[in-house]
A and B are shown apart, each in its own frame.
Chain A
Amino acid sequence: MFLEIKDLSVKIENKNILKNLNLNINKGEVHAIMGPNGSGKSTLANVLAGKEDYEILNGKINFKENNLFDLNIEERAQEGMFLAFQYPVEIPGVNITPFLHSAINSKRKRMKEEEIDNLSFAKLLKSKASDLGINIDMLKRSVNTGFSGGEKKRYEILQMSILNPDLAILDETDSGLDIDALKIVTDGVNKLKTKDNSFLIITHYQKLLDYIKPDYVHVMVNGSIVKSGSSEIAAEIENDGFQKFQ
């Protein structure tokens, strides 16, 4: 098993958010989680990434043979977990080139691979950016600083394609995107998808799933997954809303 979440319960500030949640993802699969606001979708994404504000009440998570709770945030990232943030934070004065260069090399170090030099990295970054239709000028700016919502999301996908994760979690990446931006983002995901990596796509709307075809769709309500199935569930939600699952 690639990612195995078993009976996971999580609370934050005395509020139980996740309740005995179970989810299994195999290599090469695309899973979508849909649910109303406040159902715990983003919490799940952050718990997977290792954000420290949460208290794990019970359950376990295995990721690539590791007990995930033994790894801190950066170790999880270096093991190949990537979270595309819902609200990417601005980091003024920090240019993406050295930022991502350090990131990719810390991952390579952990994997005992050779580090990539400046020049090769700059080339890689440029070619990935042009694949995603990202203007080279954007690479000269500070990380996320002064970006529009759409630019931030594209920038997340650019980082994802550079770091080439084994498991990519997309937390409401579609929110706030117009159709053109949505197409760029989803194209990026589709290009990156292979039989060796997996995606967990968190979304509120069904629209994203017109562009990315998930193998499984899960409905999350009130901190648990209440229904799992094929992408037909997404269509059901589109027609009837989340009401009938609650």
Chain B
Amino acid sequence: MNSETLNTLDNYSKNKYKYGFVTDIDNEKPKKGLNEDTIKFISFKKNEPEWMLDWRLKAFSKWKKMKEPKWANLNFPEIDYQDIYYYSAPKGFDKKPKDLSEVDPKLIETYNKLGIPLEEQKVLAGVAVDVVFDSVSVATTYKGELEKLGIIFCSIGEAIQKHPHLIKKYLGSVIPAGDHSFSALNSAVFTDGSFVYIPEGVKCPMELSTYFRINAENTGQFERTLIIADKGSYVSYLEGCTAPKRDDNQLHAANVELIALEDAEIKYSTVQNWYPGDEDGKGGIYNFVTKRGLCAGKNSKISWTQVETGSAITWKYPSCILKGDNSIGEFYSVAITNNFQQADTGTKMTHIGKNTKSKIISKGISLGKSQNTYRGEVSFLRKADRARNYTQCDSLLVGNKCGAHTVPYIDSKNNTAVIEHEASTSKINEDQLYYCRQRGLSHEEAVSLIVNGFCKQVLQELPMEFAVEAQKLVSISLEGSVG
């Protein structure tokens, strides 16, 4: 690697995080720490029915007996669960505001700064957004139009109140509370998140989107998202996230459950841009996320696309349980790590039904002193006749102090299964950089172009409205001068 490349890389690591501002707003919190009182406080604040509180407390008692999963290729100090606030809401948020006139202008300003306007005349065309600030949902756009089609798109808190039959039936049905410690923790203390129900035969005409923002200090964010696509329906959903720059690490442990019934399709996209910490590895979000989709019905399809650029630690494996015959699971991932970031991410495809198909495309890019691991498990159960999987994992190393790792597990109990696996690891190519620069592109432009090209297979899976944003985000994650 020549000196100029190293210089540019050095600039990259002085990465500026553009969403690192703090909104100065009074907030209401319970005492720090986790115990039954904390959970009762949350449940009370959310005005929840008793069955919900019981559900939470059961999860909590499971959590107390569990240890964090340790198999990931991640290094971090012990998390002190008693040193975290489990709920934080802007003051006066006991009830969700009816309209924006009731929302603190500081909050609206925050989202304007993040590029998510909430005012009616400015809302993103063709995208309905639910915005979650710390522990509460602030606003949901386009709600009325969706209601006309029978689509329910609201905060999970609201769904618990208004649609208890759906919540009781599906919440925890894909990720049981006792699955592992982070799912138990989330089930006990989840605060807000989105709920989506698409009725039979309805194709949701717009992108649904949730924007998560952590603002308060020492606060964990535990969101819960539940999406149900009834028979023959279709929905495309996107989540985005940012957090202020802080020296302390903050915990984010979300659970996302998807259920696709017969002939239904769910497309779930994530652009994760939590604060990654500074160039010395100080601060940043610990992102321990459980995402799982159940292809419950025949011919159903669930497709995960993720662009992971933020967080100090990412621990995340969006998975598909392919239970319905002919169902399809897909996972497209770009994970970029810089400085001291660590990512251990991948997927799990569980083939249960006949003729089920899964496809995994993973692109890892490591810069600085970061560590980037793909971890995936593909399993075929006994009845999964003629099931197929295709896996492709490519890693790109930029610089010589970072690491890329690929850990695929394959388990087949059915000998008609077909499995294809391709993996590659490469360094950013000096000849490619020379070629681009000879055409007049700067060194930074050239790196950005080559990395974007490397990720193209995944980025093109994003909804069009966000593909351009994601490309920019990829470039920003590499650049030094955005601020």
Contact = CB atoms under 8 A, between A and B. Distances in A.
Interface string A66-77: 000000111001
Residue of A85, A91, A159 with most chain B CB atoms under a 10 A cut-off = A91
Contacts of B392: none
Nearest to B4: A52
A163 B440 contact: yes
Interface string A182-201: 00000000000000000000
A106 interface: yes
Interface string B444-476: 010001101111110000000000000000000
Contacts of A49: 438
B20 to A, nearest CB: 28
Given A52-B2, A77-B440, A91 B432 contact: yes
Q: Is the interface of B mostly helix, strand, loop or mixed?
A: helix
Interface string A150-176: 000000000100010000000000000
Given A94-B450, A102-B449, A89 B435 contact: yes
A143 to B, nearest CB: 8
Q: Which of A50, A77, A94, A100 has the most CB of B within 10 A?
A: A94
Contacts of A51: 434
B431 A99 contact: no
Contacts of B23: none
**B: interface residue count bin:** 20 to 34
A106 B442 contact: yes
B452 A103 contact: no
Contact of B449 (A50, A74, A99): A99
Contacts of B435: 85, 88-89, 91
B2 A106 contact: no
Contacts of A92: 453-454, 456
Given A52-B3, A91-B450, A94-B449, A100 B432 contact: no
Contacts of A115: none
Interface string B2-34: 111000000000000000000000000000000
Contacts of A91: 432, 435-436, 449-450, 453
Contacts of B449: 91, 94, 98-99, 102
Contacts of B98: none
A102 B450 CA distance: 13
Contacts of A17: none
Given A52-B2, A72-B4, A89 B440 contact: no
A103 B446 CA distance: 10
Contacts of B443: 74
A103 B438 CA distance: 9
Contacts of A102: 441, 445, 449
B429 interface: yes
A127 B28 CA distance: 63
Task: Among A50, A74, A103, find the residue whose CB has the most chain B CB atoms closer than 10 A.
Answer: A74
A78 interface: yes
A91 B431 CA distance: 10
A142 B454 CA distance: 11
Given A73-B434, A102-B449, A93 B454 contact: yes
Given A53-B2, A83-B438, A93 B431 contact: no
B439 A99 contact: yes
Contacts of A110: 440
A77 B446 CA distance: 14
Contacts of B438: 49-50, 73-74, 77, 82-83, 85
B423 to A, nearest CB: 16
A7 B434 CA distance: 26
A218 interface: no
Contacts of A82: 438
Contacts of B2: 52-53
Q: Which of B429, B438, B443, B455 has its CB near the most chain A CB atoms (within 10 A)?
A: B438
B4 to A, nearest CB: 6
Interface of A: 49-53, 72-74, 77-78, 82-83, 85, 88-89, 91-94, 98-100, 102-104, 106-107, 110, 142, 159, 163
Interface of B: 2-4, 429, 431-432, 434-443, 445, 449-450, 452-457
9 contacts: A73-B434, A85-B435, A89-B429, A92-B456, A93-B455, A93-B456, A100-B439, A103-B440, A104-B440
Given A93-B453, A102-B441, A102-B445, 5 more contacts: A77-B439, A92-B456, A106-B441, A159-B439, A163-B440
